């Protein structure tokens, strides 16, 4: 039983990332009808927002510290971050320590801007083109985005640690009445899971309980009629694109401490996220979230030593295998709606 819980927990953080990316993909697909292959690149941009932000706030200048001396006996020069000047040494240090969570605030406007620019500048012209063209142009855009990041940040992963308070693991098993040290779980992964749950909840609440969300849902169901009612649905859909970009970005920011950001992390996640979307059902938001967690957890179960001994290699292919089985038995995916993407 404890093994079971461990695997579910391990699957949660990856599942959260899949769910968040798949949610954004489905939002874009459901509203604009565009298959966005650059969505993984948005996730990657989000992770690099964390990198950029933590570099920005640790910018420092040199001062000469008279009280200390270096090994030659001269007064020592030390780097002092500007944050220490502005907020004092203690608060400044903790701001730098909390760079990743604070980067959320930085990433929201950035990602909304990126999403807005992307939709208005490029995607807008592709509504009427075939899906193959949309896939290709966004695939090209993904290559461009990741090469730009590579040009600025290099090809190596950049370590972006979580705040001091969240490093290390805690003993999850004790809470459930197991012996100490049976179920250990890193703090940050739990944070990530709760964060993902909050973001997903917020997106659903936004769509469900606001007038804006209601119009968007109506537009998803029947775009033409909503347009005939005198509502500028394109403008709202543009905002939804920006929001989807923002969700992907947030997923990326918080994922930075789990996997050090590198320029191709977006592509790695994109392929799997597409599988997630298709498994969940094209155009179904709950389906995307459900399939994200499902596949994340399945992946972690498949990598249990007992399972790998029984079926070698299963941990590598389980997601694809599940996708193939589901697509062949339930053609619309787990929760797909009728008439979506059925040529």
Q: Does 52 bind another protein (CB under 8 A)?
A: no
Give the integer Cα–Cα distance in Å for 118 and 244. 12
Long-range contacts of 220-226 (CB under 8 A, 24+ apart): 220/30, 220/31, 220/283
Return the axis-axis angle of helices 211-221 and 187-209, rounded to nearest 10°.
80
Give the integer Cα–Cα distance in Å for 54 and 47. 11
Which CB atom, from 13 or from 299, has the smaller least distance to another protein?
299
**Can you tell me which of 151, 181, 198, 214 binds another protein, judged by CB under 8 A?**
151
Q: Does 331 bind another protein (CB under 8 A)?
A: yes
Beta-carbon contacts of 286 under 8 Å, excluding residues fewer than 6 positions away, are: 280, 335
CB of 56 to another protein, least distance (A): 22
CB of 322 to another protein, least distance (A): 9
Which CB atom, from 45 or from 57, has the smaller least distance to another protein?
45
In the block, tokens 């920006």 appear at: 242
Structure tokens at 284: 């179904």
Tally the C-alpha atoms within 13 A of residue 323's C-alpha that lie toward its C-beta: 19
Q: Does 148 bind another protein (CB under 8 A)?
A: yes
Return the axis-axis angle of helices 2-32 and 265-280, rounded to nearest 10°.
80
**Can you tell me which of 51, 295, 323, 335 binds another protein, judged by CB under 8 A?**
323
Q: Does 72 bind another protein (CB under 8 A)?
A: no
Q: Does 123 bind another protein (CB under 8 A)?
A: no
DSSP state of 247: H
**Interface stretch with another protein, choices 47-55, 209-217, 233-241, 315-323 (CB under 8 A):** 315-323
Residues in the chain: 343
Q: What residues numbered 225-244 form the site for another protein, per CB under 8 A?
A: none
Which CB atom, from 122 or from 259, has the smaller least distance to another protein?
122
Q: Does 132 bind another protein (CB under 8 A)?
A: yes
Q: Does 306 bind another protein (CB under 8 A)?
A: no
Structure tokens at 120: 């208005």
For another protein, the binding residues (CB under 8 A) are 35, 122, 125, 129, 131-133, 135-137, 139-144, 147-148, 150-151, 267, 271, 274-275, 278, 282, 312-313, 316-317, 320-321, 323-324, 327-328, 331, 341-343
């Amino acid at each position: 039983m404890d093994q079971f819980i461990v695997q579910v927990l391990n699957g949660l953080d990856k599942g959260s990332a899949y769910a968040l990316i798949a949610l954004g993909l489905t939002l874009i697909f459901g509203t604009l009808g565009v298959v966005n292959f650059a969505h993984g690149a948005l996730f990657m941009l989000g992770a690099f927002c964390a990198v950029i932000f933590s570099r920005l706030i640790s910018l420092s200048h040199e001062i000469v510290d008279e009280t200390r001396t270096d090994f030659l006996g001269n007064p020592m020069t030390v780097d002092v971050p500007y944050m220490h000047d502005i907020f004092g040494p203690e608060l400044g240090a903790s701001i730098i320590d909390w760079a990743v969570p604070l980067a959320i605030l930085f990433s929201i406007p950035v990602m909304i801007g990126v999403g807005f620019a992307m939709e208005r500048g490029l995607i807008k012209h592709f509504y009427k083109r075939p899906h193959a063209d949309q896939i290709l142009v966004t695939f090209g855009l993904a290559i461009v985005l990741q090469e730009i990041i590579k040009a600025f940040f290099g090809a190596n992963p950049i370590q972006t640690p979580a705040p001091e308070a969240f490093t290390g693991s805690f003993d999850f098993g004790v809470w459930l009445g197991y012996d100490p040290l049976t179920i250990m779980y890193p703090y940050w992964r739990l944070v990530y899971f709760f964060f993902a749950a909050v973001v997903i909840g917020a997106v659903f609440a936004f769509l469900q309980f606001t007038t804006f969300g209601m119009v968007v849902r109506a537009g998803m169901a029947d775009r033409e009629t909503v347009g005939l009612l005198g509502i500028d649905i394109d403008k709202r859909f543009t905002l939804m694109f920006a929001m989807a970009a923002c969700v992907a970005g947030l997923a990326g920011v918080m994922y930075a401490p789990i996997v050090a950001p590198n320029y191709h992390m977006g592509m790695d996640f994109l392929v799997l996220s597409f599988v997630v979307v298709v498994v969940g059902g094209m155009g179904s938001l709950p389906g995307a979230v459900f399939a994200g967690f499902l596949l994340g957890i399945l992946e972690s179960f498949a990598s249990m030593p007992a399972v790998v001994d029984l079926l070698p290699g299963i941990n590598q292919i389980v997601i694809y295998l599940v996708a193939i089985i589901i697509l062949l038995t339930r053609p619309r995916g787990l929760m797909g709606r009728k008439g979506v993407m059925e040529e």
